[in-house]
Copies of this chain bind each other. A is one copy, B any other.
Amino acid sequence: MQFSFRMPVAVHILLCIACFQKEIKVTSTFLSGSVNVHPVIIRKTLGQLKAAGLVDVAAGVGGAKLKKAPADITLQDIFQAVEEEEDLFHLQENPNPACPVGRNIHALLNGRLQTIRGHMMDDLRQITLQTLLDDLSKRTA
């Protein structure tokens, strides 16, 4: 059990845009070739990133560009743009209210799991696109 492609794919997309937007027109077909994911998934993800204000996508002519500086885009921004779930774990919906454990299990776990999710968000916020770009240029040097 783990999170899906989405966030990593979105990061990949944004890195490609950051690297190539000055040289070429970054289309969903181009991105599809680098990420190796279907163009429609790319467009859907791009749409979520656009809705989150992270990128601009040219309507007819095509091509995506970053809307913010890489240092101002965090993994938390990206995560929240593409993942809609509020909870880290799926809790069983109908525990038995006649059982003291069943009656309280949600209350016991919810707060604590939300706290953990909050820490995860804090961690994601520490990583910016610029961090990754710097690391990338080190590796390609």
Contacts and interface: CB of A to CB of B under 8 A. Distances in A.
Interface residues of A, number: 52
Contacts of A119: 119-120, 123
Contacts of A7: 89
So how many copies of this chain end up in the complex?
2
Contact of A108 (B16, B96, B104, B135): B135
Nearest to A7: B89
Contact of A96 (B1, B34, B87, B135): B34
A96 B33 contact: yes
Contacts of A34: 95-96, 99, 101-102
A14 to B, nearest CB: 10
A109 interface: yes
Interface string A121-137: 00110010000100110
Nearest to A131: B112
A62 B30 CA distance: 60
Nearest to A127: B112
Contacts of A36: 92, 94-96, 102
Interface of A: 1-9, 11-12, 15-16, 19, 33-37, 83, 85, 87-92, 94-96, 99-102, 104-105, 107-109, 112, 115-116, 119-120, 123-124, 127, 132, 135-136, 139-140
